[in-house]
């Protein structure tokens, strides 16, 4: 493989371009903002995201999606989840029907409740050429060559192996997993739990509280996965526990930072205005909660995150709702106990 298109020039898209370009691949990086493309081509740096990364000469940026896709032998989609559908629609006229596509975006689409590969299939067709990549992969560390690992989940084994080889480096280990639903659900739902973990930080609670929140959050994630037909073991792996740990604890985590701001007294609107950042958990708490309702799966943490962020509920009421729940078996709803 010689040419790869990276669609999206945010933090993760910039780090992915640095990784792939560093392997000698010709990377066509699509940016929505012309000023970002111009700066990357003239200075080899993204002026807004990951500004300390020097991109190799093998990375060429463009704000023309047709230019980005021309001659691409594989496509990496790294836009916010809210933009995956419109981006795919823009890609459609310029993409052959069999070009492999991997999506790094994590979320469940509002309204349709589709996972990101399902959104791509809905627009682009040919599910067999689609894959998702997810794991404990903060762009700030991947872009500095800090040892990390990830999972590629594909509907077709050959496509999974293709993207495994494409992304694998000495410092970035790539594993495959055929459980596309589980890997993608983990990526979406862990962001919501991370917002809740950040709220614990903002409220000044301790390690016991956060450990409890993360563990019960993992159980909640697993219940939803079971209802969707996911492999329970996926939740013990990199896309599940691995990504949950890093997103709930890291200083780089936007979702944890959002929760901490809310716990410290800010509103969602104030946080957005101050940081100009997108925290996927702010959107995922709506769509994941709706998915749970559709499948009759109890998601109490997700419900309270949504209530606080979007329905005007107080942190006190959310805490009371969670701590006042009836006692149950730890594994209830997981299919492991009656």
Q: What is the pLDDT of residues 169-217, one digit of tens each?
A: 999 999 999 999 999 999 999 999 999 999 999 999 999 999 999 999 9
Residue 40 has pLDDT above 50, yes or no: yes
Asked about 190 being catalytic, the answer comes back as yes
Under 8 Å CB-to-CB from 229, ≥6 apart: which residues? Answer: 181
SS3 17: helix
SS3 76: strand
Rounded Cα–Cα distance for residues 242 and 237 (Å):
6
List helix spans (H) across 70-111: 84-91
Taken in order of first residue, the domains within the chain and their CATH numbers are 3-178 (3.40.50.720), 181-323 (1.10.1040.10)
Rounded Cα–Cα distance for residues 301 and 325 (Å):
11
Which two tokens mark 148?
A: 């990390």
Which two tokens mark 6?
A: 């990276």
Name the band, by pLDDT with cuts 50, 70 and 90, for residue 95. very high
Instruction: DSSP for 26-61, please give it.
Output: EEEEE-SSHHHHHHHHHHSS-SSSSTT----TTEEE
Percent of the chain with pLDDT over 70: 99
Express each pLDDT in 259-297 by its tens digit: 999 999 999 999 988 887 778 999 999 999 999 999 999
Under 8 Å CB-to-CB from 93, ≥6 apart: which residues? Answer: 66
Name the band, by pLDDT with cuts 50, 70 and 90, for residue 317. very high
Instruction: DSSP for 220-270, please give it.
Output: HHHHHHHHTT--GGGGGSIIIIIHHHHHHH-TT-HHHHHHHHHHTT--HHH
Name the band, by pLDDT with cuts 50, 70 and 90, for residue 336. low
Name the band, by pLDDT with cuts 50, 70 and 90, for residue 83. very high
| Mean pLDDT value across residues 324-333 | 86
Contacts for 153-158: CB closer than 8 Å, 24+ residues apart: 153/177, 153/178, 153/179, 153/180, 153/182, 153/183, 153/184, 153/239, 154/102, 154/130, 154/178, 154/180, 155/117, 155/127, 155/128, 155/130, 155/131, 155/180, 156/128, 156/129
Rg (CA), the chain: 19
Q: What pLDDT, on the 0 to 100 scale, is given for residue 338?
A: 42
- The DSSP element (H or E) to which 6 belongs, if any, is strand 3-7
Q: What pLDDT, on the 0 to 100 scale, is given for residue 337?
A: 47
Express each pLDDT in 243-258 by its tens digit: 999 999 999 999 999 9
DSSP conformational letter for 11: H
Selected catalytic residue, list 190, 210, 293, 294: 190
């Amino acid at each position: 493989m010689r040419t790869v298109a990276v669609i999206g020039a945010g933090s993760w898209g910039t780090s992915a371009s640095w990784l792939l370009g560093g392997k000698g691949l010709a990377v066509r990086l699509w940016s929505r903002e012309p000023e970002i493309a111009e700066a990357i081509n003239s200075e080899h740096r993204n002026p807004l995201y990951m500004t300390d990364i020097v991109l190799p000469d093998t990375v060429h940026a463009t704000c023309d999606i047709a230019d980005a896709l021309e001659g691409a032998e594989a496509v990496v989609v790294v836009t916010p989840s809210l933009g995956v559908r419109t981006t795919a629609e823009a890609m459609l006229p310029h993409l052959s029907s069999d070009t492999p596509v991997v999506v790094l975006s994590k979320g469940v689409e509002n309204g349709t409740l589709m996972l990101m590969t399902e959104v791509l299939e809905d627009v682009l067709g040919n599910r067999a050429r689609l894959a998702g990549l997810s794991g404990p992969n903060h762009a700030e560390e991947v872009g500095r060559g800090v040892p990390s690992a990830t999972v590629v989940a594909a509907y077709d084994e050959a496509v999974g192996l293709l993207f495994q080889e494409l992304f694998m480096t000495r410092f970035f280990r790539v594993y495959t997993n055929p459980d596309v639903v589980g890997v993608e659900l983990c990526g979406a739902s862990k962001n919501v739990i991370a917002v809740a973990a950040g709220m614990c930080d903002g409220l000044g609670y301790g390690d016991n509280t956060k450990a409890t929140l993360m563990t019960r959050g993992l159980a909640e994630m697993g219940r939803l996965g079971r209802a969707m037909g996911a492999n329970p073991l996926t939740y013990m792996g990199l896309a599940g526990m691995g990504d949950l740990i890093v997103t709930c604890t890291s200083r780089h985590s936007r979702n944890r930072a959002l929760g901490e701001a809310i716990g410290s007294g800010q509103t969602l609107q104030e946080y957005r205005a101050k940081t100009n950042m997108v925290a996927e958990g702010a959107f995922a708490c709506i769509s994941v909660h709706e998915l749970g309702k559709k499948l009759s799966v109890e998601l109490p943490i997700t419900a309270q995150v949504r209530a606080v962020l979007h329905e005007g509920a107080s942190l006190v009421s959310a805490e009371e709702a969670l701590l006042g729940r009836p006692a149950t078996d730890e594994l209830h709803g997981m299919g492991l106990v009656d």
